[in-house]
Structure 1
């Protein structure tokens, strides 16, 4: 297994200083060695939320790895003269680990998204990932997590993907990660994109680092959230002075 990599500090959050392939190799090695692992995929919105919520900041600092999910994080690292090699998105990690888990017959538990999305997810997994061991899948609309937690503890999945959005997914993971020796990762809206309920930006937008803008024009309700990005960059430029 590869040695852990160094980190780059962005407004008090240590991001993994690694390429996408290095990051994935590290996660796969830890799963193979049954090492308990907590992964946070963080964008500027999460960094700024952590600045105003000390409890959440303290919580995500317990993660084993924090990946630079948003291009804003990579741009910030360049501005601060401590450049990260590339963006490592939560969705890319999610889909890669799914394929790897299928090839290696690993077990996975899914929690989050709407009931209809979970139904579609199960169908897609059965069709496209026949070797993946599905230990359970539950939507994110629950009042008590007792049933979910009991299944996870009993089944001991290699990977637990939590798609309830920040900060709830990180809180759920931090509270329950001790139950298994596997990998726990918050993946936001990845289930929705995976089943086609939400369309990911086409490749051109991704390559030109405009995925955030594509999401904004296709869903104007995101405007308030996107306004966090200029605030984040302003903080970065203040540090540069």
Structure 2
């Protein structure tokens, strides 16, 4: 990861996270977009870290990204436990909204891939109304087997930003395979299209401030309770990494 290597990073179970603030990171991205530098950003939470830990191919894939950011309070807690704290959490959704706002101000263009057909259609309406100076280079829902048509369209339209919201590991695999189609910012953002369209309600700001968005989602969507089981496993791995670190002195 040559780009991120030029910035301070924190390793969580072998995954290197850039250690910076959201504001500073946004400035990095704005410059790279303006300079038409091909940029791959992974927004990783504990689920993604654990998936990478259990799937070496995926771990190697996301390490080819230019930047991996700490999307989730679990990453922040893990970094503290390892006594190598990250400056702050940078959520994929907040980054997505900031980039749309900046793109609107700078008359940039964006391509959107992911979510259900009705959601991507609603997304177009919201982006046009909320960010009228941001060009929608193209959209495609997340239900596709052959990505050639999408990639050819991205290549043809040459957007400044490509947002892929198909969930891990599919979105990162799509970006890794196709990022040469445009010298753009490529970022996987999970369920962000559902949130911005109101299809899924984001936690109230009070829950966000105390870092309990994950609990709010479970309360609203009990089916997600199974996903919480990864957290104890993740924290146990972190403790083991800290113990190993203390023994080796590294």
TM-score bucket of the superposed structures, by smaller chain: over 0.9
Counterparts of 1:151 and 1:21, CA distance in 2:
32
Deviation sequence 1:153-172 (CA, Å, 0-9, x none) = 01110000000000000000
Matched with 1:69 is 71
Give the structure 1 partner of residue 167 of structure 2: 165
Residue in structure 2 matching 1:231, options 226, 233, 244: 233
Secondary structure in 1 matching 2:90: coil
Q: Distance in 1 between matches of 2:136 and 2:211?
A: 34
Q: 1:68, 1:74 within 8 Å by CA — same for their partners in 2?
A: yes
The answer on whether the counterparts of 2:39 and 2:184 sit within 8 Å (CA) in structure 1 is yes
Matched, 1:181 2:183: yes
Which of these residues, 118, 123, 127, is aligned with residue 125 of structure 1? Answer: 127
d(CA) in 1 for partners of 2:148, 2:181: 13
1:191 to 177, 190, 193: 193
Q: Normalising by the residue count of structure 2, what TM-score does the alignment of the two structures yield?
A: 0.94
Alpha-carbon deviations, 1:11-31, whole Å to 9, x = none?
000001000101111111100
- Aligned-pair distance for 1:128? 1.2
Provide the secondary structure at the position in 2 that maps to 1:140.
coil
Secondary structure at 2:176 match in 1? helix
- What corresponds to 2:139 in structure 1? 137
Distance 1:158 1:230 in 2: 39
1:13 — aligned with what? Answer: 15
Name the counterpart of 2:105: 103
Where structure 1 has 5 or more consecutive residues not aligned to the other structure, the ranges are none
Q: Which stretches of structure 1, 4 residues or longer, exceed 2 Å deviation after superposition?
A: none
Q: What is the CA–CA distance in structure 2 between the aligned matches of 1:71 and 1:123, rounded to whole Å?
A: 32
Shift of 1:126: 1.4
Q: 1:173 to 1:167 in 2, by over 3 A?
A: same
TM-score, structure 1 as length reference: 0.97
Please report how far the alpha carbon of residue 5 of structure 1 lies from its aligned counterpart in structure 2 after TM superposition. Answer: 2.3
- 2:222 maps to 1:203: no
Question: Do the aligned residues in 2 keep the contact of 1:4 with 1:26 (CA within 8 Å)?
Answer: no
Query: How many Å apart are 1:127 and its aligned residue?
Result: 1.1
Structure 1 position 77, deviation (Å): 0.4
The one of 76, 79, 82 equivalent to 2:81 is: 79
- Secondary structure of the 2:11 match is strand
Contact 2:152/2:181 (<8 A) preserved: no
C-alpha deviation, 1:4, in angstroms: 4.7
Instruction: Give the gaps of 5 or more residues in structure 2.
Output: 244-250
The SS at the match of 2:75 is helix
Corresponding pairs, count? 239
1:138 to partner: Cα distance: 0.7
* Structure 2 counterpart SS, 1:227: helix
